[in-house]
Structure 1
Amino acid sequence: MMTIFDPTDRAQTPLVADEKTMLLGMLAFQRDTLRWKCSGLIAEQLAFEHVPSALSLGGLLKHLAVVEFSWVQMTFAGGDDSPAWETQRQEGWDGWSLRTTAGETPQVLFDSLTETQRLTERIVGGAPSLEALSHEMPYGEPCSLRWVLLHLVQEHGRHLGHADLIREAIDGTVGI
């Protein structure tokens, strides 16, 4: 089963808004760009690895959902929810989320990103300000919600370059 996402449906970042709305808008645009890059592909295509790397579009969908959930829900909010992918985590194996998508349907991969997005928007919407500090201390001290959101925008942006190359190798689709 394929999931279709039209690039004209990508979230648009407002040009004038408060900082929280703009950061969430920029992050939503990045997520939607990844959805578009992965759109219309079957599971085997989402699992395609561009040699010499083991990176795949399905791996990027899962990785970005895991990274966002980890930073927002666990590090910032201090939650301990256990999403479905938690059982696949292997301690000491960096990059596990990029390489554990074999056999997962496109719908499951897209749904994980959507579920994480909704959770992020709920947590950020309920935060008193962007200066709010994280519950956990990832680098020996708490970080602000602003830093977490900027980090996620950076993480998505970095991996969208990978998505561009992999999608073009699969079927020649290019675009911004």
Structure 2
Amino acid sequence: MTTIFDPMDRAQTPLVADEKAMLLGMLAFQRDTLRWKCSGLTAEQLAFEHAPSELSLGGLLKHLAVVEVSWVRMTFAGGDDLPAWKTQRREGQDGWSLRTTAGETPQVLFRWLTEAQQLTERIVGEAPSLQALSQEMPYGEPCSLRWVLLHLVQEYGRHLGHADLIREAIDGTVGI
């Protein structure tokens, strides 16, 4: 798997489509933007932490893959973690996924993001509607699939701002 990604190859959100397709398209665009921000970097560069934060691009790749699988597979569909990172999970330790990327190769980090995307697309595709309710109750009550997808778009969007700043600090690369 290559870790080089051209921003011109980012998924485009359809301008006219049903809501599922639009939400999945928006999420795909966000993921591809993250891929681009992390594109072509070494493991050491992906581990670079922009002071005073402990955030790194590798941490963002892992965190967003973990968050996506956690919301879609675990909370919505009621399944277990993907085995690829399950042994690293730290219950009760907020932000563990952001700080446990030491030693992970770019290929592994990108693969986890791709696995999360494929899982999301399969589960959303099989769901009867966006009104379908989660199996788990994250806030004491179930949430809809629509809420989960909107939450993921928000989560990616928030962290893409971090990714912009970290990438620029690494090698001066900027762009939207």
TM-score band, normalised by shorter chain:
over 0.9
After TM superposition, give the deviation of residue 29 of structure 1 in Å. Answer: 0.1
Deviates further, 85-94 or 40-49: 85-94
Contact preservation (8 Å) 2:76, 2:145: yes
Structure 2 partner of 1:13: 13
Amino acid at match of 2:11: A
Q: 1:76 to 1:165 in 2, by over 3 A?
A: same
Counterparts of 1:139 and 1:90 in 2: how far apart (Å)? Answer: 20
How far the C-alpha of 1:81 sits from its partner, in A, is 4.3
Deviations 1:20-66 (CA, angstroms, capped at 9, x unpaired): 00000000000000000000100000000001111000000000000
Supply the distance in 1 between the matched residues of 2:70 and 2:11 (Cα, whole angstroms).
Answer: 23
- Cα offset for 1:82? 3.8
Please tell me whether residue 164 in structure 1 is matched to residue 126 in structure 2.
Answer: no
TM-score (norm 2): 0.98
Q: How does 1:97-176 map to 2 (within 5 A)?
A: 97-176=97-176
Secondary structure at the aligned position of 1:88 is classed as: coil
Per-residue CA shift, 1:134-167, capped at 9, x if unaligned? 0000001000000000000000000000000000
TM-score normalised to the size of structure 1? 0.98
Matched with 1:87 is 87
Aligned to 2:74: 74
Q: Could you tell me how far 1:89 is from its partner in structure 2?
A: 1.1
Q: How many residues align?
A: 176
**Alpha-carbon distance, 1:84 to partner:** 1.6
The AA in structure 1 aligned to 2:174 is V
Q: CA deviation at 1:83?
A: 2.2
Query: Counterpart amino acid of 1:137?
Result: M
Query: Which consecutive segments of 4 or more residues in structure 1 shift more than 4 A?
Result: none
Give the Cα separation in 2 of the matches to 1:66 and 1:148: 14
**Cα RMSD (Å):** 1.1
Unaligned runs of 5+ in 1: none
1:37-52 equivalence runs, <5 A: 37-52=37-52
Residues 59 and 101, structure 2, Cα contact 8 Å, conserved in 1: yes
Note if contact 1:2-1:42 (Cα within 8 Å) is conserved in structure 2: no
The share of aligned pairs that are identical, in percent, is 89
Alpha carbons 2:69, 2:81 under 8 Å: kept: no
Report the secondary structure of 2:87's partner residue: helix
What is the deviation of 1:111?
A: 0.2
Q: Displacement of 1:2 after TM fit? A: 6.7
Cα distance in 2 for partners of 1:118, 1:160 equals 20
**Contact persistence 1:5–1:35 (CA under 8 A):** yes
One-letter identity of the residue aligned with 2:111: D
Instruction: Report deviation, 1:91.
Output: 1.8
Name the aligned partner's letter for residue 41 of structure 1: L
Could you tell me how far 1:3 is from its partner in structure 2? 1.2
